[in-house]
Chains A and B, each alone.
Chain A
């Protein structure tokens, strides 16, 4: 995987993205009512490493998320998972689909 240290900065133009305290424990994945396997921990790690292709390749998953916050309520690292997902959606809308922000 090629990394891009500036990717997360680009992402943050569209909102908050903070997964610093994610310890990859997997509580989020285990609790997800939709069973979204890649979300959030694996995807967040790729985002932090700057793998924008991972974001673009997981578009369906990113938009499938119900934003129910079950994962967020139980995250031992206190990561604002739903907010991060919103930011990923903003990025996809803006950078991939050329949609202006509302």
Chain B
């Protein structure tokens, strides 16, 4: 490491067009910084992120041969990447750059106290200089990626992912735990909005998969082990006969789907003859019965009860709080299918809100035109289903009649059940990807990174990530394929070098860091005549969970070493005196 006395550090203090300089005396901050040992250049800029200001900084770095730079401006969330790129253009290692946040964490927070804000900004800048004085150049960790992918689940999302990966020239291992491909959709009849039959849709995908030489389909097989890193995972599959299959893959697409919600006994009369769920009705209608008969009884009228197992606001938190998205459209659609089979069947939709969003609104309208009656109920007064003399009786308070109780005597009660997550505990242990509060696999960012997980190279698609209809499942499948393709076809991936590092001389292998690490990135290795912890820099995310638990201070995160953090605290404490 460079001796801090001989460092040549530049400091840029940004005014952010008044956002900072209205409350912080930026000139005073610059003046204070200029007296710090190692600081050879200081500037105040109106907008440090502007092109002209970046050119100034680059010139300064080159002319004064700076080996570190501190920009005191906004949150690193906003401009860390900007200034790292600027440092790189000036020929400086981007990890010799430190961003100091004197806007969100200073000027904006202390608009009532300019003197205090200036003192705090000065302290933060001193800490930034102290950290930079002890910074080391770091190089991205470049690793090779294999053009092979593992797709878990051969439902619509998994099949479509496999085909699209195959199109890109990526070999696919498509793994299905059951004994057949097709998932839930295979059992369903007509799908909305185009009336294509589920089994036919799936059959066409399966046939295409069969024609591809670079897709290998494994039925009755599960993933039991995963190690390695993005671009080169080592995985182990286990077949139903107990055979183990080891594979090397660059990326993993999780398309394990959902379970239909199973109502509890007696929930809306579930268990009574003639009370079925939406998937059961879809399956029954796939056989196109004429006349319409279910379980031996002729169906003249149907009552659908919406939101069963969805949008539950139980105080004990055991319910499913989310909307399952597909069910309003699916039920509106299935009522038109029933109409097509027998237009004289009366259909009653007992709903809470109709969420046939976007183009699916047309399904709701065609249900209305088909003569379906919609009765709105509130969660506080759900419909009651009971059996009386062998007939089904449904009581519901109709809001449009001012809450008057309406008694229906349908031949069939269809509980419009939502989607619930599958039991993913075993897979979660193997893949180490998080699930959300709802139990579905969780993406990194719902808007900006919707198919990526915190484990690089592991993607979540379809209903494994949350309730979706078929179209949305395929959209997410193709999104994940484009992410996986971009990763694998480049042949390499650059990883952030700000990762944890163990000093083997200090380490005594107490296992604390291994327990703290959420990514399984710490291995036990031999070092001389003892065993020590070693961080796999490719798996490490640099979040530092291992650092505070180490009793020997043997582990630290590069860019945030003990020495750097201690010197930052010292610098802050000095200013506060």
Contact between B401 and A45, CB atoms less than 8 A apart: yes
Contact between A3 and B407, CB atoms less than 8 A apart: yes
Contact between B368 and A2, CB atoms less than 8 A apart: no
Whether A42 sits at the interface, judged by CB under 8 Å, is yes
Whether A24 sits at the interface, judged by CB under 8 Å, is yes
Chain A contacts of B301 at CB under 8 A? 5
Closest to A46 in B: B401
Within 8 A of B (CB), among A39-77: 42, 45-46, 48-49
Chain B contacts of A24 at CB under 8 A? 400
Chain B contacts of A3 at CB under 8 A? 406-409
> Which of B370, B405, B408 has the most chain A CB within a 10 Å cutoff?
B408
Contact between A1 and B404, CB atoms less than 8 A apart: yes
Whether A20 sits at the interface, judged by CB under 8 Å, is yes
Would A42 and B401 be within 8 Å (CB), given that A3-B409, A5-B300, A49-B373 are in contact?
A: yes
> A6 → chain B, closest Cβ, in Å?
8
In the bound complex, CA of A48 to CA of B371 (Å): 9
Contact between A1 and B373, CB atoms less than 8 A apart: no
In the bound complex, CA of A2 to CA of B404 (Å): 11
Within 8 A of A (CB), among B396-452: 398, 400-401, 404-409
Whether B134 sits at the interface, judged by CB under 8 Å, is no
Chain B contacts of A5 at CB under 8 A? 300-301, 346, 409
Chain B contacts of A1 at CB under 8 A? 401, 404-407
Chain B contacts of A31 at CB under 8 A? none
In the bound complex, CA of A1 to CA of B407 (Å): 6
Contact between B371 and A20, CB atoms less than 8 A apart: yes
Instruction: Point out the residue from B370, B373, B409 that lies within 8 Å of A48, measured CB to CB.
Output: B373
Chain A contacts of B404 at CB under 8 A? 1
Chain B contacts of A49 at CB under 8 A? 373, 398, 406
Interface string of B383-399 (1 = CB under 8 A from A): 00000000000000010
Whether A30 sits at the interface, judged by CB under 8 Å, is no
Whether B77 sits at the interface, judged by CB under 8 Å, is no
Closest to B368 in A: A20
Whether B359 sits at the interface, judged by CB under 8 Å, is no
Whether B35 sits at the interface, judged by CB under 8 Å, is no
In the bound complex, CA of A45 to CA of B373 (Å): 9
Chain A contacts of B398 at CB under 8 A? 45, 49
Total number of B residues with any Cβ neighbor in A under 8 Å: 18
> A99 → chain B, closest Cβ, in Å?
28
Instruction: Point out the residue from B300, B371, B400, B407 that lies within 8 Å of A45, measured CB to CB.
Output: B400
Whether A13 sits at the interface, judged by CB under 8 Å, is no
Whether B369 sits at the interface, judged by CB under 8 Å, is yes
In the bound complex, CA of A46 to CA of B401 (Å): 8
Chain A contacts of B371 at CB under 8 A? 20
In the bound complex, CA of A21 to CA of B366 (Å): 10
In the bound complex, CA of A9 to CA of B400 (Å): 22
Closest to B395 in A: A1
Chain A contacts of B369 at CB under 8 A? 20-21
Chain B contacts of A9 at CB under 8 A? 344
Contact between A2 and B407, CB atoms less than 8 A apart: yes
In the bound complex, CA of A1 to CA of B368 (Å): 22
In the bound complex, CA of A96 to CA of B300 (Å): 26
Chain A contacts of B400 at CB under 8 A? 24, 45
> B358 → chain A, closest Cβ, in Å?
20
Interface string of A1-40 (1 = CB under 8 A from B): 1110100010000000000110010000000000000000
In the bound complex, CA of A46 to CA of B373 (Å): 11
> B29 → chain A, closest Cβ, in Å?
63
> Which of B300, B368, B401, B405 has the most chain A CB within a 10 Å cutoff?
B401
In the bound complex, CA of A46 to CA of B400 (Å): 10
**6 pairs from A and B in contact (CB 8 Å cutoff):** A3-B407, A3-B408, A5-B409, A48-B373, A49-B398, A49-B406
By a beta-carbon cutoff of 8 Å, the part of chain B in contact with chain A is 300-301, 344, 346, 368-371, 373, 398, 400-401, 404-409
Apart from A20-B370, A20-B371, A45-B400: 20 A-B pairs, beta carbons within 8 A: A1-B401, A1-B405, A1-B406, A2-B407, A3-B406, A3-B408, A5-B300, A5-B301, A5-B409, A21-B368, A21-B369, A24-B400, A42-B401, A45-B398, A45-B401, A46-B401, A48-B373, A49-B373, A49-B398, A49-B406
Q: Which 5 A-B pairs have the closest CB atoms?
A: A5-B346, A5-B301, A24-B400, A1-B406, A2-B407
